[in-house]
Structure 1
Amino acid sequence: MITACAALALALPFDGYAANWLMLDASEPEDAPAFRGSMAISIEYQASNDTPLLAGAWKGQPDQFNRFAPRFVDGEVLQIPIAVAGAHGRLLDGALTYRVAGVAGDNAIVRDLNGYYGDVVHPLDASVTWNRIPHARLRVGLLRQPLGDEALAPEQRHVNLSHVTQQIVQERYFASDGSVNGDPNFDLGPVSAFRDIGAQVFDVFNMGPWEHTYALMLGNGTGVEPSLNHTGIEKYLYWSSERIFGGMGPKRDGLKLYAWSQSGERSLKVGPSQVNKEFERRRAGLGATLRTGPWSLAGEWIEARGMIYHGPDGGAIPGSISNDGVLMAGYNVLPESKANGGYVDLGYRVQEALEVRLRYDILHRGTDSANTEIQFQGVTIGGSYAFTRSDRIVIDYQFRRYEAPRLDAGSPTNVLLDGVDDRVGIRYYHQFSF
Structure 2
Amino acid sequence: MKTARRLARSGLAVAILSATLFNAQDANAANWFALQGISPPTAPLFGISGFIEPTVWAQPGVEDNLLHEVPHINLIGPDFSQNTTAGILRARIMFRGNLNPEISYFVAGEFGDNGVTRVRGGYQPALIDGHVTFSYLPGARVEVGLIRAPSAEGAMQGFMTYNFVLSSTVINQLMNQPMFNSAYLNKDTPAGYLIPGTQNLGANGYRYPGAMVFDWFRNGPWEFAYGAMLGMYGTVAAGNQSNEPMEAVRLQEAYILGGKGPFRSDIQGGIWYQHAAPRWDGVNYDMNRYGADLQYLQGYMHPWGRQLRFEYIHGNGWIDAPAAFSKAADLAAPLYQTQLYPGISNRAWGYMAEAGLFLTKNIEVNLRYDYYNRLPNNPAQNRIFKTYALGVQYHFTPLTKVMAGYYFRTLGVPHPNPTSESVSRSVDNVFALQAMIAF
TM-score range, shorter chain: 0.7 to 0.9
Q: Which residue of 2 aligns with 1:123?
A: 127
Q: Which residue number corresponds to residue 157 of structure 1?
A: 163
Q: State the shift of 1:415 in Å.
A: 2.7
More helix, by proportion: 2
- Give the distance between the partners of 1:122 and 1:232, measured in 2 at CA: 20
Amino acid at match of 2:408: F
Match of 1:412 in 2: 419
Number of positions where the alignment pairs a residue of Structure 1 with one of Structure 2: 404
Q: Quick one: distance in 2 between partners of 1:183 and 1:262?
A: 24
- Where 2:348 maps in the other structure, the secondary structure is strand
Alignment partner, residue 329 of structure 1: 336
Contact 1:184 1:329 in 2 (8 A): yes
What is the CA-CA distance between 1:19 and the residue it aligns to? 5.8
Question: Quick check: 1:24 aligned with 2:35?
Answer: yes
| Structure 2 residue 267 is the aligned partner of structure 1 residue 258 | no
Shift in CA distance, 350/145, structure 1 to aligned 2, threshold 3 Å: same
Partner of 2:261: 249
Partner residue in 1 for 2:176: 170
Do structure 1's residue 282 and structure 2's residue 293 form an aligned pair?
A: no
Counterpart residue identity of residue 364, structure 1: N
Q: Deviations over 1:45-85 (max 9, x none)?
A: 01111001233xxx112211100111111110100111111
Q: Structure 1, residues 236-295: CA drift from partner, whole Å, max 9, x if none?
A: 1111100001101122111000011110111224xxxxxx43211111110011012411
SS of match in other structure, 2:201: coil
User: How far apart are 1:228 and its partner, in Å?
Assistant: 3.8
Residue 108 of structure 1 aligns with which residue?
115
| 1:397 Cα deviation after fit | 0.2
- The one-letter code matched in structure 1 to 2:340 is V
For residues 325-369 of structure 1, the C-alpha deviation after alignment (integer angstroms, 9 at most, x for no partner) is 988721111112100001000000111111100000100001112
The residue type paired with residue 385 of structure 2 is F
Structure-1-length-normalised TM-score:
0.87
Contact preservation (8 Å) 1:37, 1:87: yes
SS at match of 2:271: strand
The reply on whether 1:81 has 2:86 as its aligned counterpart is no
CA RMSD for the aligned pairs? Answer: 2.5
1:145 matched to 2:149? The reply is yes
User: What is the CA–CA distance in structure 2 between the aligned matches of 1:305 and 1:343, rounded to whole Å?
Assistant: 18
Is the CA contact 1:178–1:184 (under 8 Å) kept in the aligned structure 2? no
Aligned counterpart, 1:3: none
Which whole-Å CA distance do the structure 2 matches of 1:108 and 1:232 have between them?
21
- Runs (4+) of structure 1 exceeding 3 A deviation are 9-16, 175-183, 185-188, 223-226, 325-328
> Residue 229 of structure 1 aligns to a residue in which SS?
coil
User: Residue deviations 1:203-257, cap 9 Å, x none?
Assistant: 0011221110001100111144372435532101111100001101122111000
SS in 2 for 1:138: strand
SS in structure 2 at match of 1:53: coil
Question: Equivalent of 1:64, from 68, 72, 88?
Answer: 72
Match of 2:270, as an amino acid?
Y
Of 302, 306, 316, 2:317 maps to 306
- 1:187 Cα shift? 4.1
Q: Judging changes above 3 Å, is the alpha-carbon distance between structure 1 residues 212 and 288 closer, same or farther for their aligned structure 2 residues?
A: same
Distance in 2 (alpha carbons) for counterparts of 1:340 and 1:328: 23
Q: Which has the higher contact order (CA 8 A, sep 6+)?
A: 1
Q: Any idea what SS the aligned residue of 1:165 has?
A: helix
State the match for 1:272 in structure 2: none
Residue 39 (structure 1) shift:
1.7
In 2, Cα distance between equivalents of 1:68 and 1:147: 27
Identity of aligned residues (%): 25
Aligned equivalent of 2:6: none
Q: Which amino acid aligns with 1:423?
A: V
Separation in structure 1 between the aligned mates of residue 380 and residue 195 of structure 2, nearest angstrom = 22
Is 1:136 paired with 2:144? no
In the alignment, the residues of structure 2 paired with residue 214 and residue 430 of structure 1 have an alpha-carbon distance, to the nearest angstrom, of: 31
Cα offset, 1:411, TM superposition? 4.4
Q: Is the 8 A contact 1:172 1:187 kept in 2?
A: no
| Cα separation, 1, equivalents of 2:216 and 2:275 | 23
AA at the equivalent of 1:82: R
Q: Over residues 145-174 of structure 1, what are the superposed CA-to-partner deviations in whole Å (9 max), with x where a residue is unaligned?
A: 111121111122210111111111101112
Shift of 1:399: 0.3
Q: What is residue 7 of structure 2 aligned with on the other side?
A: none
Q: Residue 225 of structure 2 is aligned with which of 208, 213, 220?
A: 213
State how far apart, in whole Å, the 2-side matches of 1:46 and 1:19 are: 33
Tell me whether 1:199 sits opposite 2:211 in the alignment: yes
- Asked if structure 2 preserves the Cα contact closer than 8 Å seen for 1:178 and 1:185, the reply is no
Q: Distance in 1 between matches of 2:409 and 2:321?
A: 18
Structure 2 runs not aligned, ≥5 long: 1-10, 22-28, 300-304
* 8 Å CA contact 1:301, 1:341 repeated in 2: yes
**Is the contact made by 1:41 and 1:83 (CA closer than 8 Å) also made in structure 2?**
yes
Q: Determine the C-alpha separation between the residues in 2 that align with 1:281 and 1:162.
A: 20
SS at match of 1:158: coil
Aligned counterpart in structure 1 of residue 402 of structure 2, from 389, 393, 398 = 393
- Work out the CA distance in 2 between the residues paired with 1:242 and 1:307: 32
Q: Which amino acid aligns with 1:309?
A: D
Q: Which amino acid aligns with 1:149?
A: E
